[in-house]
Structure 1
Amino acid sequence: MDYPKSVAGVGLVNGKFIDENEQTGQQGSLIPSAWGNDVTDEILAVQAAGGQEPDETKTNQLLLAIQKLIEQSAGVLAYSVANLPTEDVGPILVSEVAEVWRWSSSAYFTGYRSPLCGRPMDGHTIAPLASEVSAVGGVLNKTAYAALWGFAQENGLVVTQAVWTANIGAFYFVDVDATSFRVPDLRNIFRRYTGTDADTANARALGSYKADTLKSHIHGGGVAGLVGGQYSSGGAPTGTGSTGATGTAETAPKHTAFNPVIHI
């Protein structure tokens, strides 16, 4: 680093402050009060703008303040998921999950959370990522996962344990007790998008579960000597027979319904 070779009235040597040396007669650098106060005020002003409380035991506060100011100028502040702001400071970058989170406020949750909070996703790693939890019916702490618990309540996805058990595979949550909640178990389930009765005669709600079905149909075919399913007199081939209708309005595997969305 290149230092200024001289500063009027300060007494730098090769651009640096030096101590007095009585043996060699070297005079020490002089720091006039006006100059020292000006430099100190300049540094403190940057620290204050960058949210750093002055601490004489630390030597990296100016750097931290400048980094924070750079982040602010970009319009997004960086935070750890374990140390999120407790008030709205605008969009923030959450370092562990590499996402921009926004302040959210509802009757069930107030704080920072991902706009993707609650979205069912296809896990591609053995262990969930920092931004994921396993959807295998486990129980989570309401405080540690307040954002997810708030999402479940906001979207009307909380049911009793009995309903959850009777519909394993549905995108349902359970209010277990004062401190914990149960997440959905989405194993062995195909996704299905919500719809109307225009094509299936069975309108679907967000998160609902449906067992596998076989579309209603009739097996027709000629059977010699049958009339209406019975042999005619003499056994003469006088008609055809068929099985009765069986099944439902569509053929489909068991599945869970989600609203169709596209992540951009």
Structure 2
Amino acid sequence: MDYPKSVPSVGLVDGRFVDENPVAGTPGSLIPAVWGNSVTQEILNVITGAGLAAAEADTGQLLRAIQSIVGNASPMRSVVTRLTASRALTDPELGLVLIDGGSSAVTVTLPPANAALGVRDVIVRRMDNSGNRLIVQASGSDRIRFHTHLSPSGYPFLVLMGGGDWWQLRSDAAGSWWPVGRFDNTPLGRPFFETTILLSPGGYGALNGTVMKRAEWPWLWDHAQLSGMLGTEAARAGNEGKWTSGDGAATFRGPEGRGEFLRVLDEGRGVDAARAMGSFQVGSTHSYAMGANGAGAVGAWWSDSLTSFGADTREEPQYVSGLYNGGPVFPAGTSYQRDAANALLLAFKSRPRNIAYPGRIKLI
């Protein structure tokens, strides 16, 4: 495209247009037909190249065509949208969406992921670190395609947890938003230790056996059902590390890990055989016998658990059924006497030296 330099026409100076000058008696430019048609065709090439049908009365087609072409090359626009309350996003607001839910719960609804929207990206980022629930909701029957190993169609919404948590989503023009990136991709349901009592952004909660609503955490409920370690509330005692089905209808419960040591499941090795995943195991109480008044030789028999004698071996820093951690606790004449020689039975628990950190679990 260029000025019509090669086209002889009244009023053109080196192909450039000029105004009429009545004083000098020079006429103004007359636009050559070839140039006018050329300009029109250049614009039509952009419109049709974007897949649009040219319409004479529509004066916004060139802008939409450029947006579509640029969007197909890079679906992210340089747009920043700031929100402090629930609302539905529009096409021009897609870009970096900064959401502050500090004053109340917020639901942000994405535009329909249809052919009119095309392939577009949006980054939704949480700015506040309050406990208010912040939902990013798909429109209508659209779905956000995350955790598709649990649900192939994805889920109708996600939650942003903690200040700085973000997801980048891309529409496919066919009813779905696909995650392109997110703040934290740690696998769902993974337990770990933290060095802060605050909940880090990225989708974490306390490993505290909390009861949750299935409707608010559908992906986590799906995870629990497929985990192989879903139990009932009635059978929770002794199986606190499992998920439970809650009230059986609207709720479920997460694993409890507070105050416990975590152990790798045996899975057929035979070192810690017959253990069920998520089950509780009592602490081991080791014992030995000494002669009367401590004068005899150390006895030859050992026990790794005194439950057969009626002792409660759950590790608690207090007297339990006459047993106290770390000392000679079964003097002669007690119900734990093991022979007729007034032998003393000494017992201890081998709890290793340790440091306590807060336990966390990935919730989304």
TM-score, structure 2 normalization: 0.41
Map of 2:255 onto structure 1: 184
Residue 120 in structure 1 maps to residue 191 in structure 2: yes
Question: CA 1:128–1:22 in structure 2 vs 1: closer, same or farther (change >3 Å)?
Answer: farther
1:220 maps to which of 290, 294, 313: 290
Q: What are the equivalent positions in structure 2 for 1:94-113 lying under 5 Å apart?
A: 94-95=181-182, 97-99=183-185
Gaps of 5+ in 2: 8-15, 23-27, 53-60, 77-120, 125-134, 139-143, 146-151, 155-171, 173-177, 300-330, 333-340, 353-364
**Contact 2:290/2:343 (CA < 8 Å) preserved in 1?**
yes
Identity of aligned residues (%): 17
Map of 1:93 onto structure 2: 180
**Contact 2:243/2:252 (CA < 8 Å) preserved in 1?**
no
The CA deviation string for residues 30-81 of structure 1, in whole angstroms up to 9 with x for no partner, is 3554333222122348xxxxxxxx8967974443322249xxxxxxx98769
Question: CA 1:93–1:246 in structure 2 vs 1: closer, same or farther (change >3 Å)?
Answer: same
Letter in 2 for 1:159: G
Map of 1:64 onto structure 2: 71
**Contact 2:18/2:29 (CA < 8 Å) preserved in 1?**
yes
Question: CA 1:225–1:157 in structure 2 vs 1: closer, same or farther (change >3 Å)?
Answer: closer
CA RMSD of aligned residues (A): 4.9
SS at match of 1:191: coil
SS at match of 2:288: coil
After TM superposition, the structure 1 stretch with the greater mean CA deviation from structure 2, 150-159 or 173-182, is 173-182
Distance 1:141 1:67 in 2: 38
Note the C-alpha offset of 1:19. Answer: 11
Question: CA 1:178–1:34 in structure 2 vs 1: closer, same or farther (change >3 Å)?
Answer: same
Residue 161 in structure 1 maps to residue 233 in structure 2: yes
Note the C-alpha offset of 1:191. Answer: 0.8
Distance 2:184 2:62 in 1: 31
Residue 140 in structure 1 maps to residue 244 in structure 2: no
SS at match of 1:38: helix
Distance 1:56 1:241 in 2: 99
SS at match of 1:175: coil
Map of 1:233 onto structure 2: none
Work out the number of aligned pairs and report it.
197
Distance 1:79 1:64 in 2: 15
**Contact 2:20/2:29 (CA < 8 Å) preserved in 1?**
yes
1:170 maps to which of 234, 238, 241: 241
Distance 1:174 1:93 in 2: 32
